[in-house]
Chains A and B, each alone.
Chain A
Amino acid sequence: MAIDKPYADIPGTTIFDADMARIGFHINQFALSLMKAENRERFKADERAYLDEWPMSEEQKQAVLDRDYNRMMSLGGNVYFLAKIFSTDGLSFQVAAASMTGMTQEEYAQMMLDGGRSPEGNR
């Protein structure tokens, strides 16, 4: 019997459950490798070559090259693992999060200052 996933209908949200973790194993382990300074240097020097060292799908590699975080998450990436990528780029969680919403960084920052995204209509 399939496991009940009551969270599947939450708008704009991917819950990182065991199924996603299975799909995203290699993209997440790749991202984690960027916690080492020498790996960050190698990745920055030649992103494609570094990605080719990992048994990731071509789609996953392209999503990383494009820094398309929503796409990475739909392919099994988890934001805390992917954080090592935007940290390597010198970007904050807020800049990365803004990029996932279709808003500019300024619009997103202002929304947060105004109290954040309302749960109304977003449940």
Chain B
Amino acid sequence: MAKITAGVTTSHVPAIGAAFDNGKTGEEYWKPVFAGYDYSKEWIAEQKPDVVILVYNDHASAFSLDLIPTFALGCGEKYKPADEGWGPRPVPDVIGHPELASHIAQSVIQDDFDLTIVNTMDVDHGLTVPLSLMFGKTDAWPCKVIPLAVNVVLYPPPSGQRCYNLGKSLRKAVESFDDDLNVQIWGTGGMSHQLQGPRAGLINQEFDNNFLDKFVDDAETLAKVPHINYVREAGSEGIELVMWLIMRGALNDKVLQKHRFYHVPASNTAVGHLILENVDN
């Protein structure tokens, strides 16, 4: 039986990808950001997940205004890094797990979550920066990846509660898959940031740290926070944090926090990162 063993959350700032790709990880500015992931690389090398369900948002790369799915599950065999305007990131192709992904789609849709299924798309920094942070430089990602793209670009995104509940449904789906697979779920994006308008540069460390606390111990309450609180307190792009709740919903109510990291700034953004393990009850 497949099992979700752990969850990871992390910001997916494009400038982190650029620093990584251009050999700037040792620079004074970037060193503390990458140091926050040293433990994570050791941890994941031990965990050896077979599959990662990677919750992220597309930043107008695969989805234009032609088509804006609220939840889009990648059921394809392979995804190429997107050209976001400066050429694709020099990272390996992302290899999917079509069998598990299709199983998840079938299960979750019958559980009342009307996912869009995507077989062909490019994946942008939202998906590839977390992979670089967790696995470092590599010629091939060491696990399969099932992309789950969430619309947080066109307002309104799905509610925190909807995301949290989808996480629970994803877990049921994974645990009804027959093959023995070690599955992780990652929630990416955030933390507080605003990239637009005269209020650009907004960072709310109090909001972020409160979010990190509640995320581990009181996610049920956190799931009820309305959109307007994210936008007002954590910036127009801080609303990406609802995606983390999909990851949290897929884990046990009680989890073991293995790692917590918070740093300001990476370009315009507060970086937050958690590793949570499911402990057997």
Interface residues of B, count at CB 8 A: 45
Extra inter-chain contacts (6) besides given A97-B196, A116-B270, CB under 8 Å: A12-B198, A17-B154, A17-B155, A97-B201, A116-B201, A119-B204
Other-chain residue from A84, A101, A113 in contact with B85 (beta carbon distance below 8 A): A84
Inter-chain contact B231/A117, CB cutoff 8 Å: no
Nearest B-chain residue to A4, judged by Cβ:
B228
A15 to chain B, nearest CB (A): 5
For this complex, 26 residue pairs linking A to B, each with C-beta atoms less than 8 Å apart, are: A10-B232, A13-B231, A16-B153, A25-B65, A32-B64, A34-B85, A37-B83, A37-B87, A40-B85, A83-B59, A83-B60, A83-B84, A85-B85, A93-B195, A93-B268, A97-B268, A98-B200, A100-B200, A101-B199, A112-B203, A115-B265, A116-B264, A117-B200, A117-B202, A117-B203, A119-B233
- Give bound CA distance, A107 to B32, whole Å: 22
Given A35-B83, A97-B268, does the pair A79, B154 have CB atoms closer than 8 Å? no
Question: Nearest CB to that of A79 among chain B residues?
Answer: B196
**Interfacial residues of chain B within 234-281, with CB under 8 A of chain A in the complex:** 236-237, 264-265, 267-268, 270
User: What separation, in Å, do the CA atoms of A117 and B233 have in the docked complex?
Assistant: 11
Question: Any chain B CB within 8 A of the CB of A62?
Answer: no
Contact B85 A83 (CB under 8 A): yes
Contacting A84 at CB < 8 Å: which of B14, B84, B204?
A: B84
How far in angstroms is the closest Cβ of chain A from B9? Answer: 20
List of A residues within 8 angstroms of B64 by Cβ: 28-29, 32, 81
Is B18 part of the binding interface, using a Cβ–Cβ cutoff of 8 Å?
yes
Q: Are B200 and A97 neighbours in the complex by a CB distance under 8 Å?
A: yes
Kindly identify, within residues 65 to 123 of chain A, every residue whose CB is under 8 Å from any CB belonging to chain B: 69-70, 73, 78-81, 83-88, 90, 92-94, 96-98, 100-102, 108, 111-113, 115-119, 122-123
Residues on B with beta carbons closer than 8 Å to the beta carbon of A28? 60, 64-65
Q: Which residue of A lies closest to B68 (CB)?
A: A21
Check A101–B232 contact: CB distance below 8 A.
Answer: no
B2 interfacial contact with A, CB 8 Å: no
Taking CB as reference atom, which chain B residue is nearest A103? B201
Q: How far is the CB of A60 from chain B (nearest CB, A)?
A: 14
* Contacting pair B203 A87 (CB below 8 A): no
* Interface residue total, chain A, C-beta cutoff 8 A: 56
From residue 218 to 240 of chain B, which have CB atoms closer than 8 A to chain A? 227-228, 231-233, 236-237
Q: Is the CB of B60 within 8 A of A92?
A: no
Give, as a whole number of angstroms, the nearest-CB distance from A63 to chain B: 14
B198/A101 in contact, CB under 8 A: yes
A112 touches B265 (CB 8 A): yes
Q: Which of A6, A12, A18, A69 contacts B154 (CB 8 A)?
A: A18
B82 within 8 A of A: yes
Task: Say whether A10 contacts B199, CB under 8 Å.
Answer: yes
Against B, the Cβ 8 Å flags (1 = close, 0 = not) of A18-34 are 10010001001101101
Q: How far is the CB of A25 from chain B (nearest CB, A)?
A: 6
- Residues of A contacting B156 with CB < 8 Å? 17
